[in-house]
Homo-oligomer: A and B are copies of this chain.
């Protein structure tokens, strides 16, 4: 009947939660089948998608706002490593029947905060029921000047290997979350324990130095599957050896304390994953400029090794001897 109003469906109520963060005019306030984005003239659109699944990438009782932020940040981290500035994202949110509207509201609140913080507005999405766990897939878009995306390819013998922030915290945070009674963590005070746990809960992507990476790095990769494994991938595509000194890898106080108690956890630190830092290679004469940009952005940047001729990865362990890891990087299969 003409003019008749239907009561809002659950799907429409969900969309209402997300509408406020669809601020770009190209999102058409989520009132169309699709969105449009006009990248700056002369640019490439950088495309990335990454999903997180309840019970696999986050715990079922993680706060909904943190889950939302993790879902977006794992994608933002790739844009940062590629030297791209965010344009926006598309969201797929699959909810089991037991996820209530309170959960969804808190999820939307967290997502809105990060969309604002990282200037990465929502362009559209899809919400559906699933008989499985909460599942979020985000496709994020960024832009770089044409041809300027920083690749995994491009590292040259003589380049230095640098990494942002600290490595291993998230992997140790996950261990701690899974085994809260593990004696290795006994010497940590509660601040150090929460710092490790927080790094697993909430990645800190390094978008603030994306432009400096684009300007100075010869190659770059998002550290998400473990530093050693990700550098192995970068080295393979570049056709070089990544030569890495474990002693130089930047550690938080918490990770350092854990490592003192249990030196073999160097394996976990180097290959555990979920760091969401940037590992980049940089010609020696560009290091100063990159370092200065990182300092200005308040982001730590540490030289951990050097690119050499050959193929693969060579790690010098804490004892000064060559270190072979049991597994290079994380694979879900």
Residues of A that sit less than 8 Å from B by CB: 1-4, 6, 9-14, 26, 28, 31-39, 41, 43-51, 53, 55-57, 78-79, 81-82, 84, 88, 90-92, 94, 123-133, 135, 137, 139, 141-142, 144, 146, 149, 151-153, 221-222, 233, 237, 241, 243, 310-314, 322, 324, 328, 331-333
Known contacts A1-B312, A33-B221, A151-B32: A130-B48 contact under CB 8 Å? no
Report whether A237 and B32 are in contact in the complex, using a CB–CB cutoff of 8 Å.
Answer: yes
Report whether A126 and B51 are in contact in the complex, using a CB–CB cutoff of 8 Å.
Answer: yes
Contact of A48 among B34, B38, B47 (CB under 8 A): B34
A254 to nearest B CB, angstroms?
A: 27
- Bound-state Cα–Cα, A280 to B130, Å: 31
Report whether A34 and B47 are in contact in the complex, using a CB–CB cutoff of 8 Å.
Answer: yes
Give chain B residues whose Cβ lies under 8 Å from the Cβ of A151.
28, 32
A36 to nearest B CB, angstroms?
A: 4
Report whether A128 and B11 are in contact in the complex, using a CB–CB cutoff of 8 Å.
Answer: no
Can you sample 13 A-B contacts with CB below 8 Å? Answer: A3-B312, A4-B324, A9-B333, A11-B333, A12-B331, A35-B46, A38-B146, A48-B124, A49-B139, A127-B332, A130-B132, A130-B135, A131-B132
Give chain B residues whose Cβ lies under 8 Å from the Cβ of A56.
128-131
Q: Most chain-B CB neighbours within 10 Å: which of A38, A135, A241, A311?
A: A135
Report whether B48 and A33 are in contact in the complex, using a CB–CB cutoff of 8 Å.
Answer: yes
- Bound-state Cα–Cα, A101 to B234, Å: 27
- Bound-state Cα–Cα, A90 to B51, Å: 12
Report whether B331 and A9 are in contact in the complex, using a CB–CB cutoff of 8 Å.
Answer: yes
Give chain B residues whose Cβ lies under 8 Å from the Cβ of A243.
2
- Bound-state Cα–Cα, A128 to B136, Å: 12
CB-CB nearest in chain B for A47: B35
Query: 10 closest Cβ contacts across the A-B interface?
Result: A132-B132, A10-B333, A139-B139, A9-B331, A36-B44, A137-B137, A49-B90, A92-B137, A2-B314, A34-B48
Contact of A51 among B48, B88, B94 (CB under 8 A): B94
Q: Most chain-B CB neighbours within 10 Å: which of A38, A47, A94, A132?
A: A47
Give chain B residues whose Cβ lies under 8 Å from the Cβ of A237.
31-32
Contact of A313 among B2, B79, B153, B233 (CB under 8 A): B2
Report whether A311 and B3 are in contact in the complex, using a CB–CB cutoff of 8 Å.
Answer: yes
- Bound-state Cα–Cα, A189 to B213, Å: 65
Report whether B37 and A4 are in contact in the complex, using a CB–CB cutoff of 8 Å.
Answer: no
Give chain B residues whose Cβ lies under 8 Å from the Cβ of A49.
90-92, 124-126, 137, 139
Give chain B residues whose Cβ lies under 8 Å from the Cβ of A1.
312-314, 322, 324
A15 to nearest B CB, angstroms?
A: 10
A196 to nearest B CB, angstroms?
A: 24
A314 to nearest B CB, angstroms?
A: 4
- Bound-state Cα–Cα, A31 to B237, Å: 7
- Bound-state Cα–Cα, A2 to B308, Å: 10
- Bound-state Cα–Cα, A82 to B271, Å: 45
Report whether A90 and B139 are in contact in the complex, using a CB–CB cutoff of 8 Å.
Answer: yes
Give chain B residues whose Cβ lies under 8 Å from the Cβ of A43.
38
